[in-house]
Structure 1
Amino acid sequence: MAFNTASLGVRESEEADVRLDTSGREWGHVMDWGGHPEEELGVLTDLLDVTDEQDWQERALCAQTDPEAFFPEKGGSTREAKRICQGCDVKDDCLEYALAHDERFGIWGGLSERERRKLKKRAV
């Protein structure tokens, strides 16, 4: 997509990187290549972290199944979701993500919200 960086007030020493996310919305970042390497390194590190998250999420078995199994109605069965998790290669990454991001709903890494809460309490 062509983008006029002058409309952003971008100086000639800067470059704007504009992309479309999966929903078609624009997002962008303006980098000053002449300035602060530590800030640019932070941006790159953040992008790599997102890539790592996307990598395990793309390989997760749940990405290939009905998401409703992982977010059942109150009182609904979690058995099918937990069965799928048991055979998943990224189960540990999933659980680590859920604990780090305080996911409150659904089955993550083979555990329900209640089970994750108990696990956190034992770890403290």
Structure 2
Amino acid sequence: MDGRPVVADLLGNAPEWQERALCSQTDPEAFFPEKGGSTREAKRICSRCEVKSECLEYALGHDERFGIWGGLSERERRKLKRRAA
């Protein structure tokens, strides 16, 4: 072993809501599209997810800069933060 954490170690520290998230059962590529790629599928999944608000709170609180979190893109989260300030 080289001392780096393995995925299982990282997942063990995940908040409980992440285990219930629909995205945890989905291809993560949909939530991290290439620049200019479609976010439609990720947002559709988020719209049906029971932990959408917890996910968005987490992303805002941890300054997540990439991907779809809580149904919002990074740009949409920035706008939301600006409006709240």
Q: Is TM-score (shorter-chain normalized) higher than 0.5?
A: yes
Q: Which has the higher helix share?
A: 2
Cα distance in structure 2, aligned partners of 1:105 and 1:21: 19
Q: How many residues align?
A: 77
Q: Which has the higher strand share?
A: 1
Amino acid across the alignment from 1:103: E
Offset, 1:63: 0.1
The match for 2:60 is 99
Give 4+ residue runs of structure 1 displaced > 4 Å after superposition. none
Cα distance in structure 2, aligned partners of 1:68 and 1:120: 25
Cα distance in structure 2, aligned partners of 1:62 and 1:97: 15
Amino acid across the alignment from 2:52: K
Q: Which has the higher contact order (CA 8 A, sep 6+)?
A: 2
TM-score by length of 1: 0.59
Task: Note closer, same or farther for the CA distance 1:68–1:21 as it changes in structure 2 (3 Å cut).
Answer: closer
Larger radius of gyration: 1
Query: Could you give the per-residue CA deviations for residues 25-51 of structure 1, whole angstroms, max 9, x where no partner exists?
Result: xxxxxxxxxxxxxxxxxxxxxxxxx56
1:118 aligns with 2:79: yes
Cα distance in structure 2, aligned partners of 1:115 and 1:69: 17
Calculate percent identity across the aligned residue pairs: 78
Offset, 1:118: 0.1
Offset, 1:21: 7.3
Aligned residue among 8, 29, 36 for 1:22:
8
Query: Could you give the per-residue CA deviations for residues 6-39 of structure 1, whole angstroms, max 9, x where no partner exists?
Result: xxxxxxxxxxxxxx9715xxxxxxxxxxxxxxxx
Task: Note closer, same or farther for the CA distance 1:21–1:79 as it changes in structure 2 (3 Å cut).
Answer: closer
Amino acid across the alignment from 2:34: E
Structure 1's unaligned 5+ residue stretches are 1-19, 24-49
Q: Calculate the aligned-residue CA RMSD, in Å.
A: 1.6
Offset, 1:100: 0.1
Cα distance in structure 1, aligned partners of 2:29 and 2:54: 21
